[in-house]
């Protein structure tokens, strides 16, 4: 029998990785989809009147094994994939999205959910039950379940158009990115570039059978050139090519597509009963309304702008003094900022790395979780894993009860995608009075140990580890009834609070003393280095903030109002940038026509959330700082009101329970040194 179809006979019922064969996945998933369909049929054909229990809760707990198997499968596809798994993914993905559509479009099911929803005030539900009911109802209504048949047709047509337009948008950006290359034949033109960047440029030229060096618009090539290349004319050429993508009046031009997308999104939102696309999106976010987002962005702007102007003035003076530059342009910003940073801090990774041996940093994160939340991490070798490099831990609380199983997978491999992430193999939930604990994993791509040297992390890798560990704590400490509201299943402008707040400990003396010790001598990291890390972390924070705000405001200008009157992308953009502009405009460039985050990816009406999350974590950590970074009362409040609650309660309510008040943007500005205490 297919091992994925029966309960796992393993310690803590963890995934039986070593016994799963790739060819098990497709038949298991197909069978489990059918089983889940039968479970849903049982709900819709139930002759009893719809109740919370026979409909909402039954739907919530349907497909549990399907969820487990698909999460194992997709986690493997990210962390340890191969041609077979990728091929199976091609087959499995459409099956799952079709199945998802079958549920959302299931009218009999919606009728029952709606009946329960409409009687919700008389059902005496608790907060979590009410949240689950709302979530289920909205998953139908936000997809048009309440619309008349002709309007449903209109909605499907709009969705189809929008997905085509986003696809074309992305294809055009990609085509324009790939079409440009700067061929360099005189080595002097590479002056300033680090050896690694030169080498990469040479290899790129070789791969195209050319002499010399090639620089292109991919980030690994583009960013080093803009940061280090001394040749100002070439930086200008490259920057203009980058800023011109989708704005070239050629067949890859995105201007009409942008206007089309925002107008169709607006129409779609209206059809579903929302004032604008942003109102539709923000209904399921902590920020709630476009007005709140605009107020938030503009308040930060008011407060960060004086600092940004000041930083720009300093940078201009520096560039004048160094190279007699009269007017700083966009293509000068990264270059002179890097030079100034070097001058001020003289901080490089090689100096810091010996203090951050991976094993010490990991133990440090565990120790901090112990001091704050009473968690104990014990490495165990009885848990099956998908690769020998994965470490497995049993996590318990002070009473010795199991809290979670934790997997840590740190090093790059051929089958692993780039970046770092936290993921879940099994969610936490409570059923039949049993609290079923979660299985959580973090996956990273850190510097590997060699024969002579252990894995020594850059400071950026250290904060990445703490970041993902913060997400992991959110998953591990979950204590809710329903799996779909458990752990990190929260509104997405709230999900980065637990992760980002953990990064703060990496900058604190008391925390660094626990784990930042020299791998050879055992000496604790010198505090002079720590101060430098802290100061350099907020270098040019004012200008960085303005840049992020400019993107957030541009996003809201497209999605937070009726776009019918907008007929020129560039003119509209210039207006949106009016208050955040630091450098002279470049007439032949446009940001919107290559702003993939909001026109291709899922960040429309969501770009603000980067800054939003920073405010949350700065404000939360300020509370720890006020009471002591290992204060157990504050930690207990954070655990009880945030980490354990998942998405069972509105995030602003949770936050206020923890903090006693709403988050204050000033906390972020104080941490960044932009305003006085």
- Mode of pairing for the β-strands spanning 439-443 and 402-409: parallel
Contacts of 494 (CB under 8 A, 6+ apart): 286, 613, 616, 651, 655
CA angle, 177 then 179 then 185, to 5°: 105
CB-CB contact of 559 with 275 (8 Å): no
C-alpha distances out from residue 336 to 17, 216, 222, 226, 323, Å: 51, 21, 16, 10, 10
For Zn ion, the closer of residues 29 and 615 by Cβ is 615
- For the bound state, the minimum distance from the C-beta of residue 490 to Zn ion, rounded and expressed in Å, comes to 12
β partners of residue 421: 443
For Zn ion, the closer of residues 62 and 499 by Cβ is 499
For Zn ion, the closer of residues 294 and 499 by Cβ is 499
**Residue ranges of the alpha helices (H) in 504-586?**
509-515, 527-537, 541-559, 569-577
The burial class, CB within 10 Å (0-12 / 13-18 / 19+), for 78 is middle
For Zn ion, the closer of residues 62 and 427 by Cβ is 427
Question: What track of x and - describes contact with Zn ion for positions 52 through 91 (by CB under 5 A)?
Answer: ----------------------------------------
- For the bound state, the minimum distance from the C-beta of residue 463 to Zn ion, rounded and expressed in Å, comes to 11
- Among 99-107, 214-222, 393-401, 499-507, which window interacts with Zn ion (CB under 5 A)? 499-507
For Zn ion, the closer of residues 234 and 613 by Cβ is 613
**DSSP summary character for residue 503:** H
- Alpha-carbon distance of 65 to 76, in angstroms, equals 17
CB-CB contact of 520 with 264 (8 Å): no
Is 463 among the residues that bind Zn ion (CB under 5 A)? no
Rounded to a whole number, what is the distance in angstroms from the first to the last CA of the chain? Answer: 65
Nearest alpha-carbon partner for 370 in 516, 526, 515: 515
Question: CA 514, 517, 521, 527: dihedral to nearest 10 degrees?
Answer: -100
Instruction: Tell me which H or E stretch contains 406.
Output: strand 402-409
For Zn ion, the closer of residues 495 and 546 by Cβ is 495
The three-class DSSP label of residue 442 is strand
- Among 170-178, 191-199, 496-504, 658-666, which window interacts with Zn ion (CB under 5 A)? 496-504
**Residue ranges of the alpha helices (H) in 105-247?**
107-118, 127-141, 149-179, 195-207, 219-228, 232-243
Q: Which of residues 560-619 bind Zn ion (CB under 5 A)?
A: none
The three-class DSSP label of residue 385 is coil
- Alpha-carbon distance of 158 to 261, in angstroms, equals 10
**DSSP summary character for residue 181:** E
C-alpha distances out from residue 256 to 140, 175, 263, 669, Å: 31, 17, 11, 38
- Among 405-413, 495-503, 576-584, 664-672, which window interacts with Zn ion (CB under 5 A)? 495-503
Size of site (CB under 5 A) for Zn ion: 1
- Alpha-carbon distance of 81 to 77, in angstroms, equals 5
- For the bound state, the minimum distance from the C-beta of residue 63 to Zn ion, rounded and expressed in Å, comes to 27
Using Cβ positions, the residue closest to Zn ion within the complex turns out to be 499
- Catalytic residue at 468? yes
- What is the Rg, in whole angstroms, of the alpha carbon atoms belonging to the chain? 26
For Zn ion, the closer of residues 391 and 499 by Cβ is 499
For Zn ion, the closer of residues 354 and 487 by Cβ is 487
For Zn ion, the closer of residues 334 and 651 by Cβ is 651
Among residues 468, 496, 503, 508, the one annotated as catalytic is 468
- Among 284-292, 323-331, 498-506, 634-642, which window interacts with Zn ion (CB under 5 A)? 498-506
- Among 135-143, 203-211, 408-416, 493-501, which window interacts with Zn ion (CB under 5 A)? 493-501
- For the bound state, the minimum distance from the C-beta of residue 308 to Zn ion, rounded and expressed in Å, comes to 26
For Zn ion, the closer of residues 294 and 464 by Cβ is 464
- Alpha-carbon distance of 488 to 464, in angstroms, equals 17
- For the bound state, the minimum distance from the C-beta of residue 637 to Zn ion, rounded and expressed in Å, comes to 22
- For the bound state, the minimum distance from the C-beta of residue 499 to Zn ion, rounded and expressed in Å, comes to 4
- For the bound state, the minimum distance from the C-beta of residue 78 to Zn ion, rounded and expressed in Å, comes to 15
Cα 137 from chain centroid? 26
Half-sphere exposure at residue 625, Cβ-oriented, CA atoms within 13 angstroms: 17
β partners of residue 524: 517
Out of 499, 504, 580, 589, point to the residue binding Zn ion (CB under 5 A).
499
Q: Using CA of residue 339, residue 341, residue 345, residue 351, what is the dihedral sign?
A: negative
CB-CB contact of 230 with 243 (8 Å): no
CB-CB contact of 563 with 262 (8 Å): yes
Nearest alpha-carbon partner for 560 in 302, 187, 266, 301: 266
- Alpha-carbon distance of 73 to 172, in angstroms, equals 32
- Alpha-carbon distance of 128 to 134, in angstroms, equals 10
For Zn ion, the closer of residues 268 and 467 by Cβ is 467
- For the bound state, the minimum distance from the C-beta of residue 462 to Zn ion, rounded and expressed in Å, comes to 15
Binding site for Zn ion (CB under 5 A): 499
Residues marked as catalytic: 468
């Amino acid at each position: 029998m297919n091992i994925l179809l029966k309960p796992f006979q393993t310690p803590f019922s963890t995934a039986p990785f070593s016994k799963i064969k790739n060819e098990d996945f497709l038949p298991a998933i197909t069978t489990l989809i059918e089983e889940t369909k039968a479970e849903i049929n049982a709900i819709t054909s139930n002759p009893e009147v719809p109740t919370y229990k026979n409909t909402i809760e039954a739907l919530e707990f349907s497909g549990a094994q399907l969820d487990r198997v698909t999460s194992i499968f997709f986690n493997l596809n990210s962390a340890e994939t191969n041609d077979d798994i990728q091929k199976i993914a091609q087959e499995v993905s459409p099956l799952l999205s079709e199945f998802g559509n079958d549920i959302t479009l299931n009218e009999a099911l919606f009728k029952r959910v709606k009946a329960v929803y409409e009687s919700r005030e008389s059902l005496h539900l608790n907060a979590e039950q009410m949240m689950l009911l709302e979530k289920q109802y909205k998953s139908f209504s936000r997809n048009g379940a309440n619309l008349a048949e002709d309007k449903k047709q209109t909605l499907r047509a709009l969705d189809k158009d929008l997905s085509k337009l986003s696809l074309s948008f992305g294809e055009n950006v990609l085509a324009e990115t790939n079409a440009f290359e700067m061929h360099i034949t005189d080595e002097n033109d590479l002056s300033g570039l680090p050896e690694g960047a030169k080498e990469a440029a040479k290899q790129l030229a070789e791969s195209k059978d050319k002499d010399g060096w090639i620089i292109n618009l991919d980030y690994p090539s583009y960013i080093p050139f803009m940061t280090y290349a001394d040749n100002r004319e070439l930086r200008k050429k490259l920057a203009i090519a980058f800023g011109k993508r989708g704005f070239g009046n050629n067949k890859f031009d995105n201007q009409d597509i942008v206007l089309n997308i925002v107008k169709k999104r607006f129409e779609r939102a209206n059809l579903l009963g929302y004032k604008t696309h942003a109102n539709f999106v923000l209904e399921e976010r902590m920020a709630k309304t476009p007005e709140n987002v605009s107020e938030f962005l503009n308040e930060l702007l008011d407060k960060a702008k004086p600092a940004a102007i000041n930083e720009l003035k300093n940078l201009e003076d520096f560039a004048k003094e160094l190279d007699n530059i009269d007017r700083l342009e966009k293509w000068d910003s990264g270059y002179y900022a890097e030079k100034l940073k070097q001058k001020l801090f003289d901080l490089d990774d090689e100096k810091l790395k010996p203090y951050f041996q991976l094993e010490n940093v990991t133990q440090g994160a565990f120790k901090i979780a112990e001091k704050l939340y009473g968690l104990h991490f014990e490495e165990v070798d009885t848990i099956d894993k998908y690769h020998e490099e994965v470490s497995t831990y049993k996590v318990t609380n002070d009473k010795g009860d199991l809290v979670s199983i934790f997997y840590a997978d740190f090093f790059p491999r051929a089958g692993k995608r780039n970046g770092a992430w936290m993921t879940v193999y099994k969610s936490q939930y409570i059923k039949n009075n049993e609290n079923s604990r979660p299985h959580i994993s973090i996956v990273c791509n850190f510097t590997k140990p060699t024969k002579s040297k252990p894995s020594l992390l850059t400071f950026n890798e250290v904060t990445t580890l703490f970041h993902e560990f913060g997400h992991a704590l959110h998953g591990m400490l979950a204590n809710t009834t329903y799996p779909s509201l458990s752990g990190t299943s929260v509104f997405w402008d709230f999900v980065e609070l637990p992760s980002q707040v953990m990064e703060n400990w990496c900058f604190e003396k008391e925390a660094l003393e626990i784990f930042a010790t020299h791998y050879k001598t055992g000496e604790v990291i010198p505090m002079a280095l720590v101060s430098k890390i802290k100061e350099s972390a907020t270098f040019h924070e004012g200008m960085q903030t303005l840049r992020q705000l400019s993107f957030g405001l541009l996003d809201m200008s497209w999605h937070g109002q009726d776009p019918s009157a907008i007929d020129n992308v560039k003119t509209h953009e210039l207006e949106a940038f009016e208050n955040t502009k630091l450098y002279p405009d470049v007439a032949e460039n446009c940001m919107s026509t290559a702003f993939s985050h909001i026109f291709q990816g899922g960040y429309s009406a969501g770009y603000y959330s980067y800054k939003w999350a920073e405010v949350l974590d700065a404000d939360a950590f300020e509370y720890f700082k006020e009471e002591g970074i290992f204060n157990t009362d504050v930690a207990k409040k954070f655990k009880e009101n945030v980490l354990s609650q998942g998405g069972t309660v509105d995030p602003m309510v949770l936050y206020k329970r923890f903090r006693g008040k709403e988050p204050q943007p000033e906390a972020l500005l104080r941490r960044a040194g932009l305003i006085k205490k």
